[in-house]
Structure 1
Amino acid sequence: MMGPLQEAQPALFYEFSLEDYVPQNHLLRSIDRFVDLSGIRTYLADFYSHTGRPSVDPELLIRMLLVGYCFGIRSERRLCEEVHLNLAYRWFCRLDLSDRVPDHSTFSKNRHGRFRDSELLRHLFETTVARCIEEGLVSGQRMAIDASLIEADANKQNSTPKEEWDASTVDPMDAPRAVREYLDILDEAAFGAASEVKPKFTSHSDPASQWTAARKGTAFFSYSDNYLIDTDHGVIVDVEATRSIRQAEVGSTKTMLKRVKEKFDLHPERLIADTAYASGPMLGWLVDRKIAPHIPVFDKSGRSDGTWSRADYEWDAENDQYICPEGQVLKQFRRNYSDPNRGPTGQGRTKFRALKLTCQACPSKAKCCPNADARSITREDHEDARQVARDIAKTKQYDISMKLRKKVEMLFAHLKRILGLGRLRLRGPYGANDEFLLAATAQNLRKLAKIFPAPQQTRKA
């Protein structure tokens, strides 16, 4: 028997509670237990006027942004539509059925104003990290660092070759916001001061982005998202936006390690990274601060022709010299030379030489320098730190560290595949930084929700 026609008959009164209609196992229920925005109004008090029309509650805006980044809804216009329709989103944002959702333009005005001036998103991220530490997810003993390319909101059609681009000709008064931000960061180590080499192309819409072909495919404009994580549970303890070049990415390591030391008193006993972070100055900086570099060192000193390599020579640090297997000495200087080529190169390396007469009379010359009159060895300025990294690479702990390094790579995969941050929507270095901070906050909250899910409550019959 066919049922009767279903007709909507509006009732005069409704008894409705959002609490009853949000599933107990919903992700937002678990996340909500770790979102503490009680101090946000006090934090922003100095950035609001004491008179005028009341503004939209900043806690509501932050909760909506967290919903967007936790579920990959990065368009603020679409986010407002989803919060308007989704009961769980309304419940998390503390909105009743009759409450109006803010307009999408409200986010832009606050993001470029109060949120950025007060560094609210950095404060929100650090609050989440502090909660992870409080819950015992961060020990601070072992940390890993890595960077991932995120495509910028720019394209080659709207760009200029480096021969035609001159930043001094840009008028800041008439330039768009992203261009003004580019002019502001020309002297910062993470951007303009990271390298003197100019990119092949400069985007008109986002000149701070880097033209790169690092993925071995089609070149594109991008920013680098740098993560410093604690390997115990893969919690992101710091995040930094930089240019997509190695110097800027490696330099951000120092910035983030100093920041977590000042903010959370975290000082790792080891740092895990790939060969991009194995430069001599970086290794020396880590060793000087008692941080063990679990980093593979790319070494070119080995030889394939059967002759002795640098590893066969003993380093005498006390006398600043090498000793060959035959017991002869290789020194940097034996007397003062007027020839500048015999002095320091100024390129971060030093050359040590044996005496020509000694090598010519040596019975092992065929194994040492068959094609040269005398043997010479080049030593990097931070060779001691490199040797520390090489010695660590022979331990079992190093093998464990190389497996733990995959955790930061998994976070980047989650960032792009699940949260949908494969391409930036906001422009400029500040826009990239805002997106990276919100995404890292969402990832930490999802981590907390996964490890400590909300307790299930049985409904009363």
Structure 2
Amino acid sequence: MLLNHNQSSLSFHSELYSFVPEDHILRRVHDLVDFSFINDLVKESYCVYYGRPANEPELLFRLLFLQFLYNLSDERVIEDSQYNLAYKWFLGLNPEDSLPDSSQLSRFRVHRLGANRVEKVLEHIVKQCVEKGLIQSKALIIDSTHTLANAAKGKPLDVLKKAANRLLKGVKKQYSSLYKKLPMFPKLEGADEEKAKQLLQYLVELRNLLEDKLPDAEGSLLEKINTVKQIIEDERLLTNKGIASAVDPDARFGRKSNSRTFYGFKNHIAMTEEEIITAIHVTPGNEDDGKQLQTLVNKTREQQITIDEVFADTAYSRKENLTFLQTDEIKASIPLNPAVYGTREDDKFQYDKENDEVICPAGHTSIRKAKTGRTGTGTNPCLTFYFDTNICKQCPFKDGCYNNTKEKTYSISIKSEEHIHQMAYLDSDEYLQRKGLRSNIEHKNAELKNAHRMTRAKYRGQFGMRIQAFLTAFVVNVKRMIKLEMAHSE
């Protein structure tokens, strides 16, 4: 049951709040941001007439704000708010008032907000920025930043063992009589790969039995059953390219660069020139950055923000993105991948346009050509030129060029109309003057990680990562709102 009441009333001790400085950040946040939207956002998750009285959502959401602003745990934010006058003033409580138990924060975050409503939290703060006139630009900057999973990665056999043990313990705790009837943990034999296959078969049998015997399972046990189901259905598990943790099956291996990898999630971010984050899309770490551009642009436009220019790096220069932006007459300030240009300065091959042939560094010309590449893949087709391997075998320059393969080829990308249009824009003075704006999002990524601990996930699973990402973005946007408001008032 949700009670609507004023959180604070006159108190003999209220004079203590005079010690909170007028320029304290929480006073500025309170004056600038309307937190009351949260009551309507979560009201459907409460029963209107029955149940014990619940703490007002705004109080709990303000506690979450403090938690993410100052990087505090559930227990620590409650403890600090009990004696910190600035915190308690911000919460709308009297100095002598008590605070809710820390467990209520977790319930509010997971069950009241959840992964769906928490996205609306970001939309509301962006809406307030628009209403206050803080967003004037029409450019969107897009990038991604990775977050390490809050779980240790393991080999397939370790993942299967962990999942089986967690599920068996969960059944034993809640259904001890059923636990005694479950098939025994198998005796594993052979190499690790064979052991993993044996254990995988055991998990299939265990999952099927529990789904039959416990169709109404819920809570932590249902979570463990679903995790086992997710592991069983992962076709890439045994190849070391799929699920690598039984406690966070959503996390995946991703690449920071060609030589560095990470295990966790990607947060794909869109922000305006004013550095207000307008959209976030959370994916496992192995997802392609370029595929998220259209989602981020559409989510931003849904908030009545006009976009006429998008800044991003080469990862977003795929053909379908250029088509999407050019169709909507949005400038794509996105450098193209060097492969699109069809030139590789280091290999010294030359394309002869007049004769439509390629000349190798030794001066030999190609003998035929063919068009290769599949349509509908988002990449340009290629012209592949073939050389006479009999000549290549005798060539003094063959080291590093020809390795006695059946064919020696050289491919040149066939540029699409979209890429030709993009090349022309990238050569313009307008792009050259504005391309530096893209680097602004690097500062935002650094703030998210260094000031608000987005380097590692606070919670587990993509569900938890979404909650962390959106609440962190809310806090970061509020901080930026204060700076923009101060700049406008000067």
Q: TM-score range by the shorter chain?
A: 0.7 to 0.9
Which residue of the other structure, out of 470, 475, 482, is the alignment partner of 1:437? 470
Q: Deviations over 1:19-74 (max 9, x none)?
A: 3121011111111123213243233332211212111111111001111112222x
The partner residue of 2:264 within 190, 203, 222 is: 222
Is 1:250–2:290 an aligned residue pair?
yes
Query: Would the alpha carbon gap of residues 446 and 183 (structure 1) be closer, same or farther in structure 2, given more than 3 Å must change?
Result: farther
Displacement of 1:452: 2.1
Q: Does 1:425 align with 2:439?
A: no
Question: Is the alpha carbon distance of 1:303 and 1:413 closer, same or farther for their aligned partners in structure 2, counting shifts above 3 Å?
Answer: closer
Amino acid at match of 1:202: A
Match of 1:413 in 2: 446
Shift of 1:244: 1.5
Q: In the superposition, relative to structure 1, how do residues 32 and 217 fare at CA in structure 2: closer, same or farther (>3 Å)?
A: farther
Q: Count residues in correspondence.
A: 395
Q: Percent identity?
A: 22
Query: How has the CA–CA distance of structure 1 residues 14 and 110 changed in structure 2, closer, same or farther, with 3 Å as cutoff?
Result: closer
Q: For 2:224 and 2:114, how far apart are their aligned partners in 1?
A: 14
| Alpha carbons of structure 1 residues 342 and 454: separation in structure 2 relative to 1, 3 Å | closer
Tell me how far apart the structure 2 counterparts of residues 246 and 425 of structure 1 sit (CA, whole Å).
21
Paired residues for 1:29-48 under 5 Å: 29-48=27-46
Measure, in 2, the Cα distance between the counterparts of 1:280 and 1:240. Answer: 21
> Equivalents in 1 of 2:76, 2:258: separation in Å?
34
Select the structure that is richer in helix. 2
User: Counterpart in 1 of 2:65?
Assistant: 66
Determine the C-alpha separation between the residues in 2 that align with 1:274 and 1:234.
17
Counterparts of 1:102 and 1:181, CA distance in 2:
32
Highest RCO, 1 vs 2 (Cα 8 Å, sep ≥ 6): 1
The amino acid that maps onto 1:276 is: A
Provide the rounded CA distance (Å) in 2 between the counterparts of 1:23 and 1:276. Answer: 46
Superposition deviation, residue 409 in structure 1: 0.9
AA at the equivalent of 2:264: S
Counterpart residue identity of residue 51, structure 2: G
Q: Helix, strand or coil: the match of 1:228?
A: strand
Unaligned runs of at least 5 residues, structure 1: 1-12, 313-323, 331-340, 357-370, 457-461
Pick aligned residue for 1:26 from 7, 24, 27: 24
Amino acid at match of 2:20: V
| 8 Å Cα contact 1:181-1:428 kept in structure 2 | no
**Aligned residue for 1:148?**
145
Q: Kindly tell me: are residues 186 and 108 of structure 1, through their superposed partners in 2, closer, same or farther at Cα, counting changes over 3 Å? A: farther
> Residue 23 of structure 1 aligns to which amino acid in structure 2?
P
Q: Letter of the 1:122 partner, please give it.
A: E
Change (3 A) 1:350 1:275: closer
Hey, what does 2:50 align to over in structure 1? Answer: 51
Residue 246 of structure 2: which of 197, 204, 227 is its match? 204
Q: Is 1:113 equivalent to 2:114 in the alignment?
A: no
Distance in 1 between residues matched to 2:317 and 2:229, nearest whole Å: 31
Q: 1:71 to 1:178 in 2, by over 3 A?
A: farther
Give matches, 1:229-308, under 5 Å. 229-231=271-273, 233-247=274-288, 249-261=289-301, 263-300=302-339, 301-304=342-345, 308=350
Distance in structure 2 (CA, Å) of the matches to 1:116 and 1:98 = 31
User: CA 1:271 to 1:181, structure 2 compared with 1: closer, same or farther past 3 Å?
Assistant: farther
- Structure 1 position 134, deviation (Å): 1.8
In structure 2, stretches of 5+ residues that fail to align are 1-10, 161-192, 212-216, 359-368, 388-401, 403-408
User: Which range moves more in the overlay, 108-117 or 50-59?
Assistant: 108-117
Amino acid in the other structure paired with 2:463: Y
Residue 135 of structure 2 is matched in structure 1 by 138
Q: Single out whichever of 300-309 and 276-285 deviates more from structure 2.
A: 300-309
Is the 1:154–1:221 contact (alpha carbons within 8 Å) kept by the matching residues of 2? no
| Cα displacement (A) at 1:18 | 4.3
Larger mean CA deviation between 131-140 and 97-106 belongs to 131-140
Q: Which residue of structure 1 lines up, in the alignment, with residue 179 of structure 2?
A: none
CA distance in 1, matches of 2:232, 2:423: 36
- Paired residues of 1:416 and 1:422 also in contact (CA < 8 A): yes
Q: 1:87 to 1:183 in 2, by over 3 A?
A: farther
Take 1:198 and 1:281, find their aligned partners in 2: how far apart are those partners? 31
Distance 2:323 2:111 in 1: 40
Per the TM alignment, residue 137 of structure 1 is displaced from its structure 2 partner at its CA by 2.4
**Partners of 1:56 and 1:308 in 2: CA distance:** 72
Which of the numbers 84, 88, 91 marks the counterpart of 1:90? 88
In 2, the alpha carbon distance for the partners of 1:85 and 1:146 equals 40
Corresponding letter in the other structure for 2:299: R
Aligned-partner Cα distance in 2 for 1:47–1:93 = 22
Partners of 1:181 and 1:429 within 8 A in 2: no
CA RMSD of aligned residues (A): 4.1
Aligned to 1:317: none
Kept after mapping to 2: 8 A contact 1:155/1:220: no
Change beyond 3 A, Cα 1:176–1:220:
farther
d(CA) in 2 for partners of 1:264, 1:393: 29
Distance 2:130 2:488 in 1: 21
Give distance in 2, aligned partners of 1:298 and 1:122: 32
Deviations 1:60-94 (A, max 9, x none): 11001111112222x11111111112111111111
- Paired residues of 2:227 and 2:246 also in contact (CA < 8 A): no
- 162-171 or 47-56, which deviates more: 162-171
Greater Cα offset, 414-423 or 152-161: 152-161
Please report how far the alpha carbon of residue 228 of structure 1 lies from its aligned counterpart in structure 2 after TM superposition.
0.2
Distance 1:411 1:64 in 2: 24
Deviation of 1:209 after TM superposition, in Å, equals 0.6
Q: Counterparts of 1:46 and 1:351 in 2: how far apart (Å)?
A: 55
Equivalent residue number for residue 350 of structure 1: 381
